[in-house]
Structure 1
Amino acid sequence: MVSYNRLAGQRSPYLRQHATNPVDWYPWCEEALALARQLDRPIFLSIGYAACHWCHVMEHECFENPQIAALLNANFVSIKVDREERPDLDALYMTALHLLTREGGGWPLSVFLTPQLTPFYAGTYFPPDDRYAPHRPAFPRLLQAIIQAWQSRRTEIEQLGQQVITALQQMQSAADTPPVLLSESILRDAARAFQRAFDPVYGGFGAAPKFPHAVELSLLLRLSLRFRESALLAMVCQTLTAMARGGIYDQLGGGFARYSVDARWLVPHFEKMLYDNALLASTYTEAALLTGDPFLEEIARSTLDYVCRDLAVPAGLFCSSEDADSEGEEGKFYLWTPKEMEQILGRELAEFACRVWGVTAAGNFEGKNILHRQGSDAEDAERLGIPLEEFRQKLAEARNRLFQARQQRVRPDRDDKIITAWNAWAIAALARAAVAWNIPEYLMRACHAADQLLRYARDSQGRLLRLAQLPGDNAPPPPLGFLEDYAALIDALITLYEASGQLSYLQSAVELARSMLQRFAEAHGGGFYFVASDQEPLPARLREQHDGATPSGSALAITALLRLSHLLQDVELARKAEDALRTYATLMQQQPLAAGQFLIALDWYLGPVDQVAVIGRRSDSATARALDMIRQAFRPRQVLAIHDPDAGPPPHLLPWLAGKVACQDTVTVYRCREFQCQSPLIGPERVEQAFRQEPLASPS
């Protein structure tokens, strides 16, 4: 009979995966913390996530081992945490790992704490034996050493833990550095830093492992426009194209894996994350609008189609990720052999497909093949000696048949957590693509997801939750939302208002912004904290600083406040955004590669920002034509207000619409910049003349 520990009823699939371990796991809860104090035992804190390959490895090797479990159960209070559910704990103790080891981190994160939650030893993956000694000791030997130290060197351990907490607290105040002027020079220096880090051969930044860096690529699109530097645009286009041709991109089903283990984007770490795909879809959409490149549009749309098909839940929201493994093997769902392809496609089409996607008998990953492209459709058609139209027809047939066959395989597990911030990024990406290419289904999905999030990811007091709690959900209540949840959703709701014209989304954004400022902003200083003032206190309250795998919550908050301040003409919001941006000026200046979203906010702050008001009947085709022209170009520093005069006077929420009317009974557009308004543009033809933007072709 299978026995279950305390993780069996948890909301997180990652925690439930450990429910049958012989380790007497607790979730992070007051019961566990009180037990550690009562028994005077150290806490073993293990942090990971469902799509983490090495988390699974350590579970199988260590946490399913009865001898190791006995050591843990007799001497520690063991706590398992899902980093996606509790990013505050992950951020705090990952920073502690950096202080303790002076090395980079990763997952699983393994931390030993005193009962007062001060960390005194930390690492990542530990094997069950000494195969990687001396740098990575065997886990049982490590446990014995910590047990002995706890018994014989207790004072030393407690002093070390307190030193770490003191250092963490000092790091937060260290951000209060002498003021740095918020100027274009910071953006220019950032552009040079990205050029130095750029890989001119394969695109992207740095060496292997190589991550997509969606936010940084979006920043470079903005800088290419600001400084009229084609070289910056070329870097973005080379990177986006190389990723979309590589194995990091699912050539059959769309969507991107977490990162590439090599420099050329060929071999991915196969898990697919909602946040990567949402952020990348937005970046591809922006690049497609700026360049007019249909390939970039195709990748943006196929990525969103993947999200809507494979990550959607029945409530209209989106789950967190798909695992790297299936049937116990990394990447098995995505790999092919020539024989498999011939069985599905027949000899002639299989030969074609193998040549297009680089499938060989030797394989490129453990004897099998990750599908990837060597060139564009035109280049591959020429290489194969096939007319382009015929090439595309054969490619579509092969892709469809292989995709349908792959659907019969055992799929990777999904992490079905519905994370507020990640869903917000998906909503924003869908809204952007919907208006970029007139795709009503995307806008419908974005609106429905936003409605559901506002309904199911708030508590009775209106505060955001980290996770949506759907009807019939009997798991423990999710934690309150963190700064990134508020900031991402505010920003998404602004984008959704500009895409749909529904004022309720803007009203919700304003309400959330007021709550965010009240609960997360520093009382003295311009920055933001990771956790709210009314959330569970931890040994150190971290400020949200540099970008990580996702954009910084502080940077997102500043960006959203800047957008709102221009839409609402709210001087107080603008002042708060400016004060916060100044707090992070030194970070932008000294570490631009870790400050992409802050630099996007700085680009907003420096302006110029266009305020565009469209006054016209929703039912009028002329209004639709005008809106299409305004939306279907890349204008990163623009706010858009929409009003139907048949609905009555303009809303008080948008005071700058007062007095603006539809002239000559047709759509009229008002465009203002730097407190100066141009003459009204009356009729769609005038709007098209004023807003026409020729695509900026990326340099070859």
Structure 2
Amino acid sequence: MEKESFEDNEVAEILNKYFISIKVDREERTDIDHIYMTVCQAFTGSGGWPLTIFMTPDKEPFFAGTYFPKHDKIGMYGFLSILQRVRKEWDGNREYLINSSNKILNAINEPENVQNEELKSDLIDSAFSQFKSNFDNDYGGFGNAPKFPTPHNLYFLLRYWYKTKEKSALDIVEKTLDSMYRGGIYDHIGYGFSRYSTDRKWLVPHFEKMLYDNALLAIAYLETYQVTKNSRYAEVAEQIFTYVLRDMTSKEGGFYSAEDADSEGEEGKFYLWTVDEVKNILGEKAGDKFCAYFNITPKGNFEGKNIPNLIKSSFTVIDTEFINRSREKLFDIRNKRVHPYKDDKILTSWNGLMIASMAIGGRVLCNNNYISAAENASAFIYKKLIRKDGRLLARYRDGEAAFPAYIDDYAFLIWGLIELYETTFKPEYLEKAINLNKDLIKYFWDDKNGGLFVYGSDSEQLITRPKEIYDGATPSGNSVSALNFLRLAHLTGMYEFEDKAHQLLKTFANSITDYPKGYSFSLIVLLFIQSKSKEIVIAADRNNNETKKMIDIINEKFRPFTISMLYSNENKNVEKLAEFISEYNSVNGRPTAYICENYSCKAPITDTKLFKQILKDDD
């Protein structure tokens, strides 16, 4: 629509004569996007982007749709026709339009049906059954085309496997991660994942790369590496981080939002190859070998050219040195092409996800570069995206920070700070997470019905103030907040946070019960509640070798319901955040581990072999 209509003089003349045109960046104004997408779904039964809304001067919508061509087509009105029709109806039948608007507003503002009941434990099994029945056994993922990664679904399945030891849950995760990596949705030359696959096989992506997808997917690969110890999963996570640090990180430390699908007016042009191009770069023999490995053929698999992929690759012995050497040569040549447009907005929410991902990557892979990147991004947010009065903001670009932060900004950043604390054990990150959590409750909590609103009480007040817990392309701010509440409660002993998690789940119990598969991150919270969560406190000098061994033992395995803390002379001020921790002291000056469960602790452990064995037995 941008090319067909918004940049077209004929359309512009009508728009400028009869309308006030407002173009909204839906990532900057998630509140507006959420509300008017709901309106579009109410009007038409479906939604999507580009979203087109006609509204009164009072911002009350009376007509909605998604894509409209410039001119009428068979079965579809064109944008020009719609503009003329809306103008005519507004001049001659305005009362009818306003009545239509009132009906929609009344519908979306209906009081929610809050039962205030606990979620039933069998929802966990129901969700797993839904995922299993929807699983694509041939190509991984769920359903048919288009296929989206939705990594939080895989998080749920990993935790379901951990709790039940249901092998098929882990099989689904591995098949999906393997298939996505082998497909064209993964950039085998420059790394990183595209937003989704247009086909069932994960071959042809929508070539747009999003920061949030890569953050969430890296976590999925890292967790599966912890479970399986398959080095391929660690390598994919490392490659994602290589892409993000190389192409998506600002000089100031924040992470950029996205890269477009198009370059030079063609979707995917930057990423495509012909056999001749590969051979010209690598030589005849090496080019043939590389093409055979990545399924690059004279016929092509996308508009006569090739998306490198491993879907049909049958190589049993992989010449890793050859692949890496060849890939680097192709990458250097590709880098000279016209690059897709980079959306260099720095969003607090998506940065929070990448901070979490890098922090997890740093501790699982023992890589300080990832930890530094997470810390730098956190420092950037606190330097550039905190208002003078302490209010978190949502977006930074070209030296300007704007818009009071939304629920996702708070929820995802708190998640990132919790991961940073459990990676570095620096109390400052725990303190920041606590303070942000208090602000989240202050600005967003619904005192009447529970749950968190999309935008804050101090933000621009729109035609409605929605709440949402559905886990879509990213987990919802409410579901992530619920898990944050639980983790912070166990880290600090502030159990009012745990109460908030229970209240939140009760608020949305009806929605989750109706379709558990759509609320996978909320069910992770339920699994956390149902499981015997474990707190491990290590009382020791941070730089002691035995301390490091104990920390590595905690991090080497997948332990999704375990909270870890370090209490040492270097971070004594953690006592101000978690008063109980002063009771945990080292024995005879040696690094000492305390394993606690259900409010009781085992005898202190000073032997690392015994510590490892006890955790293994518990697993």
Output the TM-score relative to the length of structure 1: 0.86
**How many percent identity over aligned positions?**
37
Q: Tell me, what secondary structure is at the counterpart of 1:641? A: strand
Query: 1:62 is matched with which residue?
Result: 5
Distance 1:693 1:120, change over 3 A: farther
Query: 1:199 is matched with which residue?
Result: 136
How far residue 157 of structure 1 moved from its aligned partner, in angstroms, is 0.3
Query: 2:78 is matched with which residue?
Result: 138
Query: 1:99 is matched with which residue?
Result: 42
Query: 2:515 is matched with which residue?
Result: 591
Task: Determine which of 360, 364, 385 is the counterpart of 1:432.
Answer: 360
How far residue 479 of structure 1 moved from its aligned partner, in angstroms, is 0.5
Distance 1:340 1:646, change over 3 A: closer
Q: Does the CA contact (< 8 Å) of 1:565 and 1:574 recur in 2?
A: yes
Matched, 1:161 2:101: yes
User: Could you report, residue by residue, the CA deviation over 1:329-365 in whole angstroms, capped at 9, with x for unpaired residues?
Assistant: 1001100000000000000110011111111111100
Distance 1:304 1:542, change over 3 A: same
Matched, 1:217 2:159: no
How far residue 272 of structure 1 moved from its aligned partner, in angstroms, is 0.1
Structure 1 unaligned segments of length 5 or more: list them: 1-57, 383-387, 696-700
Task: Determine which of 190, 193, 207 is the counterpart of 1:253.
Answer: 190
Q: Tell me, what secondary structure is at the counterpart of 2:242? A: helix
Query: 1:400 is matched with which residue?
Result: 328
CA distance in structure 2 between the partners assigned to 1:108 and 1:668 by the alignment: 57
Q: Tell me, what secondary structure is at the counterpart of 2:566? A: strand
Q: Count how many residue pairs are aligned between Structure 1 and Structure 2.
A: 619
Q: Does the CA contact (< 8 Å) of 2:163 and 2:531 recur in 1?
A: no
How far residue 605 of structure 1 moved from its aligned partner, in angstroms, is 1.9
Structure 2 unaligned segments of length 5 or more: list them: none
How far residue 608 of structure 1 moved from its aligned partner, in angstroms, is 1.4
Query: 2:467 is matched with which residue?
Result: 543
Q: Does the CA contact (< 8 Å) of 2:358 and 2:370 recur in 1?
A: yes
Q: Tell me, what secondary structure is at the counterpart of 1:257? A: coil
Q: How does 1:25-36 map to 2 (within 5 A)?
A: none
Query: 1:41 is matched with which residue?
Result: none
User: Could you report, residue by residue, the CA deviation over 1:544-594 in whole angstroms, capped at 9, with x for unpaired residues?
Assistant: 221222111111111111110111111211111111111122222211222
Q: How does 1:156-555 map to 2 (within 5 A)?
A: 156-170=96-110, 173-176=111-114, 178-374=115-311, 379-380=314-315, 382=316, 388=317, 391-468=319-396, 473=399, 475=400, 477-555=401-479
Distance 1:361 1:532, change over 3 A: same
Matched, 1:573 2:497: yes
Q: Does the CA contact (< 8 Å) of 1:183 and 1:606 recur in 2?
A: no
How far residue 179 of structure 1 moved from its aligned partner, in angstroms, is 4.2
Query: 1:124 is matched with which residue?
Result: 66
Task: Determine which of 584, 599, 604 is the counterpart of 2:528.
Answer: 604
CA distance in structure 2 between the partners assigned to 1:563 and 1:182 by the alignment: 19
My pick for the range that moved more, 479-488 or 631-640, is 631-640
How far residue 683 of structure 1 moved from its aligned partner, in angstroms, is 3.2
CA distance in structure 2 between the partners assigned to 1:248 and 1:307 by the alignment: 16
The code of the aligned residue for 2:207 comes to F
CA distance in structure 2 between the partners assigned to 1:593 and 1:159 by the alignment: 37
Q: Does the CA contact (< 8 Å) of 1:260 and 1:269 recur in 2?
A: yes
Query: 1:663 is matched with which residue?
Result: 587
How far residue 126 of structure 1 moved from its aligned partner, in angstroms, is 0.9
The code of the aligned residue for 1:107 comes to W
CA distance in structure 2 between the partners assigned to 1:648 and 1:579 by the alignment: 33
Q: Tell me, what secondary structure is at the counterpart of 1:681? A: coil
Q: Does the CA contact (< 8 Å) of 1:456 and 1:469 recur in 2?
A: no
The code of the aligned residue for 1:359 comes to I
User: Could you report, residue by residue, the CA deviation over 1:4-37 in whole angstroms, capped at 9, with x for unpaired residues?
Assistant: xxxxxxxxxxxxxxxxxxxxxxxxxxxxxxxxxx
Q: Tell me, what secondary structure is at the counterpart of 2:538? A: strand
CA distance in structure 2 between the partners assigned to 1:646 and 1:360 by the alignment: 59
User: Could you report, residue by residue, the CA deviation over 1:504-560 in whole angstroms, capped at 9, with x for unpaired residues?
Assistant: 000000000011001100011221100101100101100122122211111111111
How far residue 199 of structure 1 moved from its aligned partner, in angstroms, is 1.1
Q: Does the CA contact (< 8 Å) of 1:488 and 1:556 recur in 2?
A: yes
CA distance in structure 1 between the partners assigned to 2:120 and 2:541 by the alignment: 41
CA distance in structure 2 between the partners assigned to 1:643 and 1:338 by the alignment: 59
Q: Tell me, what secondary structure is at the counterpart of 1:112? A: strand
CA distance in structure 1 between the partners assigned to 2:184 and 2:408 by the alignment: 30
Q: Does the CA contact (< 8 Å) of 2:146 and 2:200 recur in 1?
A: yes
Q: Does the CA contact (< 8 Å) of 2:427 and 2:571 recur in 1?
A: no
CA distance in structure 2 between the partners assigned to 1:315 and 1:214 by the alignment: 28
The code of the aligned residue for 1:507 comes to E
Task: Determine which of 631, 636, 644 is the counterpart of 2:560.
Answer: 636
Output the TM-score relative to the length of structure 2: 0.98
Give me the CA root mean square deviation.
1.5
CA distance in structure 1 between the partners assigned to 2:570 and 2:30 by the alignment: 46
Q: Does the CA contact (< 8 Å) of 1:457 and 1:469 recur in 2?
A: no
User: Could you report, residue by residue, the CA deviation over 1:212-266 in whole angstroms, capped at 9, with x for unpaired residues?
Assistant: 0111111111011111100011001000000000000001111100000001100
How far residue 652 of structure 1 moved from its aligned partner, in angstroms, is 2.6
Query: 1:149 is matched with which residue?
Result: 89
Query: 1:6 is matched with which residue?
Result: none
How far residue 186 of structure 1 moved from its aligned partner, in angstroms, is 1.1
CA distance in structure 2 between the partners assigned to 1:552 and 1:274 by the alignment: 16
Q: Tell me, what secondary structure is at the counterpart of 1:664? A: coil
How far residue 681 of structure 1 moved from its aligned partner, in angstroms, is 1.3
How far residue 689 of structure 1 moved from its aligned partner, in angstroms, is 2.2
Distance 1:647 1:431, change over 3 A: closer
The code of the aligned residue for 2:503 comes to D
Q: Tell me, what secondary structure is at the counterpart of 1:120? A: strand
Query: 1:687 is matched with which residue?
Result: 611
Q: Does the CA contact (< 8 Å) of 1:483 and 1:531 recur in 2?
A: yes
Q: Does the CA contact (< 8 Å) of 1:645 and 1:661 recur in 2?
A: no
Query: 1:45 is matched with which residue?
Result: none
The code of the aligned residue for 1:664 comes to N
CA distance in structure 2 between the partners assigned to 1:547 and 1:648 by the alignment: 38
CA distance in structure 1 between the partners assigned to 2:295 and 2:247 by the alignment: 25
The code of the aligned residue for 1:684 comes to T
Q: Does the CA contact (< 8 Å) of 2:427 and 2:574 recur in 1?
A: no
Distance 1:320 1:651, change over 3 A: same
How far residue 694 of structure 1 moved from its aligned partner, in angstroms, is 11
Query: 1:617 is matched with which residue?
Result: 541
Q: Does the CA contact (< 8 Å) of 1:486 and 1:516 recur in 2?
A: yes
Q: Does the CA contact (< 8 Å) of 1:645 and 1:662 recur in 2?
A: no
How far residue 648 of structure 1 moved from its aligned partner, in angstroms, is 4.5
CA distance in structure 2 between the partners assigned to 1:693 and 1:329 by the alignment: 56
The code of the aligned residue for 1:525 comes to N
Distance 1:342 1:142, change over 3 A: same
CA distance in structure 2 between the partners assigned to 1:444 and 1:130 by the alignment: 54
Task: Determine which of 86, 111, 115 is the counterpart of 2:53.
Answer: 111
User: Could you report, residue by residue, the CA deviation over 1:388-409 in whole angstroms, capped at 9, with x for unpaired residues?
Assistant: 36x2222122111111111111
Q: Tell me, what secondary structure is at the counterpart of 1:203? A: coil
Distance 1:307 1:690, change over 3 A: same
How far residue 142 of structure 1 moved from its aligned partner, in angstroms, is 0.9
Q: Does the CA contact (< 8 Å) of 2:406 and 2:455 recur in 1?
A: yes
Q: Tell me, what secondary structure is at the counterpart of 1:688? A: helix
My pick for the range that moved more, 338-347 or 634-643, is 634-643
How far residue 692 of structure 1 moved from its aligned partner, in angstroms, is 4.0
The code of the aligned residue for 1:599 comes to L
